[in-house]
Structure 1
Amino acid sequence: MKNPAIQNDFSYYRRTISRNRINNMHLDSESEVNNEMANRMSLFYAEATPMLKTLSDATTKFVSENKTLPIENTTDCLSTMASVCKVMLETPEYKSRFTNDETLLFCMRVMVGVIILYDHVHPVGAFAKTSKIDMKGCIKVLKEQPPNNVEGLLNALRYTTRHLNDESASKQIRTMLQVQ
């Protein structure tokens, strides 16, 4: 989401390679991406959050292919991970252990990532009142961080989740996520 120009850059690369082939200007074939791989890369980068989309698809596929495994096992694991990250970010004694800001940012990214995965896998999503994720607490923790660190994460919650605008979603959570 933070680097939307990558799709344009890759398209430019593909056009340049194609033009060079037409003009018989062969580059080192080892550094050239073959057509099939280039097509797959284009589809990957076409997503707003390509890695999160891949993880979401893989998790959804895992849940649908393993019918004998209760979906609660997966969603409980994801909600526990979100809760652990939230506690690490909001509790002063844990937070003070992190000497590097990158560690805090990593915890925030993991928390948002597992919330989005939960929302994609769980039938009613992460924003419902029955959700096992404390969404109000997670959003509050994010909003307490420096804005330049969390705006992309809040946008990920706003725009890459499935159930935020559902009837079952808490109106208070929707209000907390509104752009101001």
Structure 2
Amino acid sequence: MGKLLSLLSRDDSNCCSSPRYDIFLDFENAAPTDTERAVYEEVQRVLLDSEKILEEIQCYKGAGKEIREAIADPSRISQERAWRAVRPLVDKLLRCYNHSIQLQRMKTPAIQNDFSYYRRSVSRGGLINAELPPGEEPHITAEVANRMSLFYAQATPMLKVLSEATSQFVNENQPDLENTTETLSTMAKVCLRMLENPKLVAQFSREETSLLVLRVMVGLIILYDWVHPSGAFCRSSSVDVKGCVKFLQQQPPTKAEPLLNALRYTTKHLNHQSTPKNIRTLLAA
């Protein structure tokens, strides 16, 4: 991995520098090895189950109208109408939470609004308890509701979960720290080089593959920033954050903004004193 990383170091465009190497990874036709198959099949099952849930979230409308009416006129009828509108929506959010689907809170503000109203209604009891059979608790316990609230409060919930899981793995397996960070930074460089090279991009058979590689690149930077003690933004980082951000800024806003927001709000060290001012300024643009 170290040799591959050195091959990917940036060309200074002079006669003394190393030649620039580009590597193509076939994201579209990658297949698991025998040792990877069990994990692959488990992940594949989750992804297939998640397609319908993700579609529901993308079309999420929310119960804002009913909630506003219940707040303005806290009668039993208006509260009952709001509760019946919110309850099935929270069922969707629970399924989504259980599958840990990545969401963008800033793009779907109704999610947090609906769930906040649900939690307030459950805490008040009364109306909700009257609808429950004797002895039956609300279908989401207070503990689960608290975890869901923290999950949906994140700008990019799934990236947050992945970052914490990767950090936990490294903390429990310190000898693997260097291998882990080197793998993440090398893969981020590979993704950037692939996207920068029109000849490599032309090898993709599906248009959406470029967006997938963009997302993978950003995810790798975020994971590196969480795992590496000094983060991804310091001068000694082996991640080309500046090159990645500049490339993102050249993409259409609909593709670039969610990913730039992920770097702004999901990373750990962006506002650290070790982060160069020009990097913070670049991401603030």
Task: Return the TM-score normalized by structure 1.
Answer: 0.84
User: Aligned pair 1:7/2:133, yes or no?
Assistant: no
Deviations 1:105-142 (A, max 9, x none): 11111111110111111111111111111112111221
Q: Partner letter of residue 239 of structure 2? A: I
**Residue 57 (structure 1) shift:** 0.8
Q: Partner letter of residue 116 of structure 1? A: I
User: Aligned pair 1:24/2:125, yes or no?
Assistant: no
In the aligned structure 2, how far is the partner of 1:12 from the partner of 1:19?
14
User: Aligned pair 1:121/2:227, yes or no?
Assistant: yes
The SS at the match of 1:97 is: coil
In the aligned structure 1, how far is the partner of 2:171 from the partner of 2:187?
21
Alignment of 1:53-92 (within 5 A): 53-67=160-174, 69-92=175-198
In structure 2, the partner of 1:175 is 281
Q: Partner letter of residue 81 of structure 1? A: M
Q: Partner letter of residue 5 of structure 1? A: A
Q: Partner letter of residue 113 of structure 1? A: G
Q: Pick one of 143, 150, 157 that aligns with 1:50.
A: 157
Deviations 1:128-175 (A, max 9, x none): 111111112111221121111111111111222222222322333222
**Residue 45 (structure 1) shift:** 1.2
Q: 1:14 to 1:101 in 2, by over 3 A?
A: farther
Taking only aligned residues, the RMSD between alpha carbons, in angstroms, comes to 2.3
In structure 1, the partner of 2:257 is 151
Gaps of 5+ in 1: none
In structure 2, the partner of 1:103 is 209
The SS at the match of 2:158 is: helix
Contact 2:155 2:265 survives alignment (8 Å): no
* Larger deviation, residues 157-166 vs 8-17: 8-17
In the aligned structure 2, how far is the partner of 1:83 from the partner of 1:91?
12
In structure 2, the partner of 1:41 is 148
Contact 2:154 2:160 survives alignment (8 Å): yes
Identity of aligned residues (%): 58
Say how many residue pairs are matched.
Answer: 175
Q: Partner letter of residue 50 of structure 1? A: P
**Residue 12 (structure 1) shift:** 3.8
The SS at the match of 1:23 is: helix
The SS at the match of 1:169 is: coil
In the aligned structure 1, how far is the partner of 2:164 from the partner of 2:220?
13
The SS at the match of 1:110 is: helix
Q: 1:103 to 1:16 in 2, by over 3 A?
A: farther
* Larger deviation, residues 107-116 vs 17-26: 17-26
In structure 2, the partner of 1:161 is 267
Gaps of 5+ in 2: 1-103
In the aligned structure 1, how far is the partner of 2:114 from the partner of 2:184?
35
Q: 1:46 to 1:167 in 2, by over 3 A?
A: closer
In the aligned structure 2, how far is the partner of 1:88 from the partner of 1:16?
51
**Residue 20 (structure 1) shift:** 5.3
In the aligned structure 1, how far is the partner of 2:118 from the partner of 2:215?
30
